[in-house]
Chains A and B, each alone.
Chain A
Amino acid sequence: MIAIDEPTPKTASLTSLALNATGMVITVEENCKNKKRLQELGFFSGSKVKFVHRGRAGGPRAFRIMGAVIAIREEDIESIIISGEVC
C-alpha cells in the first residue's frame, strides 16, 4: 500500500465523532476485514453518517447512514475515516 503524505486536515476516524454529530465518510481503510460489507451498507466516500447510539464501553455503536441504523464494533469503526462535523 502506498502511503500518501498529503496533508489532510480535519480527517479523523469515525470513533472521534461525538454522539448525535454528523460527519462525511471519506473512506474505509484497506486493512479493514469488513470493508466490503461496510461499503455496501453505504460507508462510502460522500455519505453522511450520524452517530446515534452508544452502548456500553467497548461494545458496538450505532450509526445512521443512508436512512438505516447500523451497529458496528469498535475495531471496524476505527477504520472508517470521516471529515469533521458537517452539522
Chain B
Amino acid sequence: MKPGAGGAAEAVYVVTLAGNPNTGKSTLFNALTGLKQHTGNWTGKTVGCFSGEFSYKNARFIVTDLPGTYTLDAASADELAAQEEILRHCCNATVVVADATCIERNLILALQLLEIKENVILCLNLIDEAERKSIKIDTELLSKLLHCPVALTNAVNKRGMAELYDAIYKTSKCEMSSEKLIFHQNGASHMENLINLAREITAETVVYEDTDCDRRDRAIDNAMLSRRFGIPIMLLALFGVFWLTVVGANYPSGLLAKLFGIIENALYNFLHLVNSPEWLIEMLITGIYRTLAWVISVMLPPMAIFFPLFTVLEDSGFLPRVAFNLDYYFCKCGSHGKQALTMCMGVGCNAAGVTACKIIDSERERLIAILTNSFMPCNGRFPTLILLAAIIASGIGGSALSALIVFGCVILAVCITFLVSKILSKTMLKGMPSGFILELPPYRKPRFLAVILRSITEKTLVILGRAVTVALPAGLLIWVLNSLTINGTSVILYISTFLNPFAVMLGIDGMILTAFIIGLPANEIVMPIALMCYTGASGLVSANNISAVSQILAENGWNVITALCVMIFSLCHFPCATTLLTIKKETRSLKWTFTAFLLPTAVGILLCFIIAQTARLLTG
C-alpha cells in the first residue's frame, strides 16, 4: 500500500511505533487500535512486527508495533527487524515511545530517529509511574529543545490518548513536523554526540525530586535476587501456580464432564429420533463427540487457571528475575541467561517459546534455546501430566501431592534442559557463552481483571480452538482405525501390537506410543486417543472421572512405573507439528528441525528405558 495515498473516501496513513524495549509500545498499540496484542513486563516480549488500524477524524491509520530496540545499531534478530522496518519503509508518522521514568536513555533512540526522519513524535509513556516516582518533566521545553512534538500518555488507562491521536493526525497531514537533527563535525564519535545531547537535554528538562525513587523495587529485588532466597522464592511461586491449577481445575472439570454427558444423551436421542443409521451415531458420538468433550473438559479448566496466573507473573516483572537467578547455571552450560525467558514462554506453548528465542543475540545460543525448548511441558501436555499425577497420587495423598508431582516434572524438565544445553555446547554447538545483559524492569502491579479477560481471550480460547480443530479429525481417525477390522482385529490393534515390543522396553505400551505418534499435530489429544484405543469399540469413558480412567489404565496393565514413564515420555518426545514448523521457519534449516525432532525423542527413550529396566530389575 502506498503510504498517504488518499482513497476516494478517506486518506490512509502509515504510523510506526518505535522505542526502547519494555516502554509499553504494545500496550500503546492496543490502546490506539483496540486490538489485543500480547503485552508483558519484560524486555523482548515483542519479537516481530505487528500491524493494526484505527480511524481518526476522516483518516485511516495503519499502525505497526515494532520490537523494542535500544539504538539503531541492532544486535539481535528482533532488533534487526525493528531497525529494518524503521529504515526501509517510509511512514507518515514515527512515534517514539519512551519510558517517562528513564528519559535520558530513551532519548538516544529518539535523537537517532530525529536525524533521519522529519515526522517524529515523542510519546512519553508510563507517565503515571513517573508521577508516582516524583519525576518532573518540562514537556514544553523538551519539545522545544528536540524540535519535535511531545505527547504524554499512560497507555494502560488510556490517559493522554486524545493528544497522541491528534499529534499523529497532524503529523500525517503535514500540519506538524519535527526538525531534522544534524550533528556538526566535532571530532567526537556519533554515539558520543548522541549520548551527550541526550544528557544535556535531560539535565535541562527532567528533575528527579526523589533520588531514591526506586527503593520499593530495590527492596523487593533484595529478596528476589538474593543468593539465599532468590531460587527458593522462584520455586515456591512455581509450586503455588501448579497447586492452584491442580486444585482449581478439579471442580470445573467434573462439572464440564457432567454437562457434556447431558449433551451427549440429548444428541444420542436426537440422532435416534431422526433415524440415523447406527454406524453414523457410533461415529459421531463415540468417535468425534467424546474426543471433543474429553479434550475440552480436561484442557479448558487448567488452562483457564494457569494462563491468568502466569500472565500475572509476566506482567509483574517476575520473569527477568528468573533469568537473573538462573543465568549462572546457563552460563555454566555454555548458553544464555535469556534462555530462562524462552523456557518460561515454552511453558505456555513451545511454538511461542521457539519464536521468543529471537531475543538471544548469539546464533549458537539461540539454537541451543530452540532445540531444548520442547523439554518444557507446554499447555497441551500439562493436562496429561496433571491427570497422570492425580492417578499416581490418588492412592496416597490429595491434590498437594499431585501438584508436587507436576512440579517435580517441571523441575526435571529444567534439569534436562541444562544438561542437554551443556552437551550441545560441548558437541554440536561448540562455543563460549556470549554474555548476558538484561534490563530488570520496575515491578508493576498487574491489573487482575484485565489479565484474566486477556489471557482467556488471547491464549486459552486460541489454544483450545487449535486443540479442538485437531481433536475432531483425530477422533474420527481413531474411530475408523478402531472400527476397521482385518481378520477380526482392528487396524489400531495391528499398529499397537507392532509397536508394543519396543514400547514395553520403555516401560510404556504400544497403545500409548501409537497415541503419541497420532498426537503429533497437537499433544492435547494424546491421552484421549490412548483411552479411546484402550476402551476400543465401547468408546471413550466419560471425561475426567479419575477413578474410572485409572481403572481402565489398570485393566490394561498400567502401574505406577507405566504412569511415570508416560509422564517422562510426555516431557521428552518430538515437539508437536506446529512447533516443528516454527523451528523450520526460525532456523531456516531442515537439519536443525530434524535435530529438534530427534533430540528430545532420544532423551525420552533413554530416560524411559533406564527407569523401566531399573524398575524391572528391582521388582524381579
Contact between B325 and A67, CB atoms less than 8 A apart: no
B73 within 8 A of A: yes
Range of interface residues on B (Cβ < 8 Å): 35 or more
Contact between B191 and A58, CB atoms less than 8 A apart: no
Residues from chain B with Cβ under 8 Å of A45 in the complex? 192
A 40-67 contacts with B by CB, 8 A: 40-42, 44-47, 52-60, 62, 64, 66-67
Contact between A56 and B191, CB atoms less than 8 A apart: no
Contact between B104 and A66, CB atoms less than 8 A apart: yes
Interface window among B214-222, B462-470, B593-601? B214-222
How distant is the Cα of A75 from the Cα of B369 in the complex, in angstroms?
Answer: 22
* A42 CB contact (under 8 Å) in B104, B221, B227, B323: B104
Contact between B230 and A73, CB atoms less than 8 A apart: no
Across the two chains, which residue of chain B brings its CB closest to A41? B70
B602 within 8 A of A: no
B618 within 8 A of A: no
How distant is the Cα of A58 from the Cα of B191 in the complex, in angstroms?
Answer: 31
Which of A46, A57, A73 lies at the interface centre, i.e. has the most chain B CB atoms within 10 A of its CB? Answer: A73
B101 within 8 A of A: yes
Across the two chains, which residue of chain B brings its CB closest to A39? B191
State how many residues of chain A have any CB contact under 8 Å with chain B: 34
Nearest CB in chain B: distance from A81 CB, A: 16
A10 within 8 A of B: no
A85 within 8 A of B: no
* A71 CB contact (under 8 Å) in B105, B199, B327: B327
Nearest CB in chain A: distance from B192 CB, A: 7
B 156-205 contacts with A by CB, 8 A: 191-192, 195-196, 199
Nearest CB in chain B: distance from A85 CB, A: 16
Contact between B327 and A69, CB atoms less than 8 A apart: no
A12 within 8 A of B: no
How distant is the Cα of A74 from the Cα of B422 in the complex, in angstroms?
Answer: 20
Q: Mark B243-272, 1 if CB is under 8 A from A, else 0.
A: 000000000000000000000000000000
Contact between A70 and B102, CB atoms less than 8 A apart: no
B437 within 8 A of A: yes
Contact between A37 and B437, CB atoms less than 8 A apart: yes
* A36 CB contact (under 8 Å) in B73, B222, B225, B328: B73
Nearest CB in chain B: distance from A34 CB, A: 5
* A41 CB contact (under 8 Å) in B73, B105, B328: B105
Residues from chain A with Cβ under 8 Å of B102 in the complex? 66-68
Contact between A40 and B71, CB atoms less than 8 A apart: yes
Contact status of A55 and B230, CB under 8 A, knowing A37-B437, A44-B191:
yes
Across the two chains, which residue of chain A brings its CB closest to B191? A39
Residues from chain B with Cβ under 8 Å of A17 in the complex? none
How distant is the Cα of A7 from the Cα of B211 in the complex, in angstroms?
Answer: 34
Contact status of A55 and B225, CB under 8 A, knowing A68-B105, A69-B440:
yes
How distant is the Cα of A66 from the Cα of B230 in the complex, in angstroms?
Answer: 25
Contact between A34 and B195, CB atoms less than 8 A apart: no
Across the two chains, which residue of chain B brings its CB closest to A58? B328
B346 within 8 A of A: no
A38 within 8 A of B: yes
Residues from chain B with Cβ under 8 Å of A75 in the complex? 435
Which of B101, B433, B440 lies at the interface centre, i.e. has the most chain A CB atoms within 10 A of its CB? Answer: B440
Contact status of A72 and B221, CB under 8 A, knowing A41-B70, A59-B328:
no
Contact between A34 and B435, CB atoms less than 8 A apart: yes
Contact status of A40 and B436, CB under 8 A, knowing A55-B325, A56-B328, A59-B328:
no
Contact status of A71 and B331, CB under 8 A, knowing A42-B105, A60-B324:
no
Residues from chain A with Cβ under 8 Å of B101 in the complex? 67
Contact between A70 and B108, CB atoms less than 8 A apart: no
Q: Mark B359-388, 1 if CB is under 8 A from A, else 0.
A: 001000000000000000000000000000
Across the two chains, which residue of chain A brings its CB closest to B105? A66
Nearest CB in chain A: distance from B7 CB, A: 40
How distant is the Cα of A83 from the Cα of B226 in the complex, in angstroms?
Answer: 27
Contact between A62 and B221, CB atoms less than 8 A apart: yes
Nearest CB in chain B: distance from A16 CB, A: 20
B55 within 8 A of A: no
How distant is the Cα of A4 from the Cα of B509 in the complex, in angstroms?
Answer: 71
Contact between A53 and B73, CB atoms less than 8 A apart: no
Residues from chain B with Cβ under 8 Å of A34 in the complex? 434-435, 437
Residues from chain B with Cβ under 8 Å of A52 in the complex? 218, 221
B75 within 8 A of A: yes
How distant is the Cα of A56 from the Cα of B225 in the complex, in angstroms?
Answer: 8
How distant is the Cα of A60 from the Cα of B337 in the complex, in angstroms?
Answer: 9
Nearest CB in chain A: distance from B391 CB, A: 38
Residues from chain A with Cβ under 8 Å of B440 in the complex? 53, 62, 69-71
How distant is the Cα of A44 from the Cα of B438 in the complex, in angstroms?
Answer: 17
Contact between B435 and A33, CB atoms less than 8 A apart: yes
Contact between A59 and B104, CB atoms less than 8 A apart: no
Contact between B436 and A37, CB atoms less than 8 A apart: no
Residues from chain A with Cβ under 8 Å of B222 in the complex? 53
Across the two chains, which residue of chain B brings its CB closest to A69? B440
Nearest CB in chain A: distance from B76 CB, A: 9
B103 within 8 A of A: yes
Which of A38, A46, A69 lies at the interface centre, i.e. has the most chain B CB atoms within 10 A of its CB? Answer: A69
Residues from chain B with Cβ under 8 Å of A38 in the complex? 437
Contact between B227 and A57, CB atoms less than 8 A apart: yes
B 407-421 contacts with A by CB, 8 A: none
* Further pairs besides A46-B196, A67-B104: 11, Cβ < 8 Å: A39-B195, A44-B195, A53-B225, A54-B227, A59-B328, A62-B225, A69-B440, A70-B438, A71-B436, A71-B439, A73-B327
B contact residues vs A (CB 8 Å cutoff): 70-71, 73, 75, 101-105, 108, 191-192, 195-196, 199, 214, 217-218, 221-222, 225-227, 230, 320, 323-325, 327-328, 331, 337, 361, 433-441
Q: What would be 23 A-B contacts, judged by CB atoms less than 8 Å apart?
A: A34-B437, A40-B108, A41-B437, A42-B105, A45-B192, A46-B195, A52-B218, A52-B221, A53-B218, A53-B225, A55-B328, A59-B327, A64-B214, A67-B102, A69-B214, A70-B438, A70-B439, A70-B440, A71-B327, A71-B437, A73-B331, A73-B435, A73-B436
The 5 closest A-B pairs by CB, nearest first: A59-B328, A67-B102, A66-B105, A56-B227, A40-B70
